[in-house]
Amino acid sequence: MRNKILICSLLIGCTTPEPDCALSQQSQTGLYSMFLTEESGDCGALGHAEVEVGNGIPLLGASQCIVSEGEWTQAACNTRSVVDCDDGIWVLHLEWNVHSVDASSETLAGTLSTEMDKWDGIYTCTGDYSFKANIIK
């Protein structure tokens, strides 16, 4: 009986770990056609946009935005980033999770959590979105 328990324990402990993603973070780069679906919040629908993605980070008005955090998880082909933007009217805090759907990163999917502030707090909102994006070039 002890031998059976020992063998079962060894078999359970010797499972093969899931392989890492074969892609690099750099593969999540290009111009994408992105469709965002509102999941919750009070900001309203964002709909469709053409978005430049660099190393898994969606770049919106790059001159007015700062990437304050960025993390690549190889096992999941996922880039998590925090982007803060201020164009003088809108202050945006954007938290992105972007992962490759296929083996070539031609399709990306993920989530966006937002905090938006217009005119120093006269209008504020938060929102959670899911998205799917297909590469244009």
| 27 is a domain residue | yes
70 exposure class (CB count in 10 Å sphere: 0-12, 13-18, 19+)? middle
Q: Name the domain count of the chain.
A: 1
Sole residue written with tokens 């972007």: 98
**Can you tell me the distance from the alpha carbon of 83 to that of 104, in angstroms, rounded to the nearest whole number?**
25
Which of the residue ranges 11-20, 56-65, 115-124, 126-135 has the most confident prediction, judged by mean pLDDT?
126-135
Look up residue 75 and give its DSSP letter: G
**Can you tell me the distance from the alpha carbon of 135 to that of 77, in angstroms, rounded to the nearest whole number?**
16
Tell me if 98 sits within 8 A of 78, measured CB to CB: yes
Tell me if 29 sits within 8 A of 54, measured CB to CB: yes
**Can you tell me the distance from the alpha carbon of 92 to that of 87, in angstroms, rounded to the nearest whole number?**
9
| 5 is a domain residue | no
| 12 is a domain residue | no
Tell me if 118 sits within 8 A of 124, measured CB to CB: yes
| 6 is a domain residue | no
Q: What is the pLDDT of residues 6-62, one digit of tens each?
A: 444 444 445 444 457 888 899 999 999 999 999 999 999 989 999 999 999 998 765
| 11 is a domain residue | no
| 83 is a domain residue | yes
Specify the pLDDT at position 50: 94
Confidence of residue 5 (pLDDT cuts 50, 70, 90): very low
78: containing domain:
19-135
**Can you tell me the distance from the alpha carbon of 38 to that of 24, in angstroms, rounded to the nearest whole number?**
29
Mean pLDDT of the chain: 86
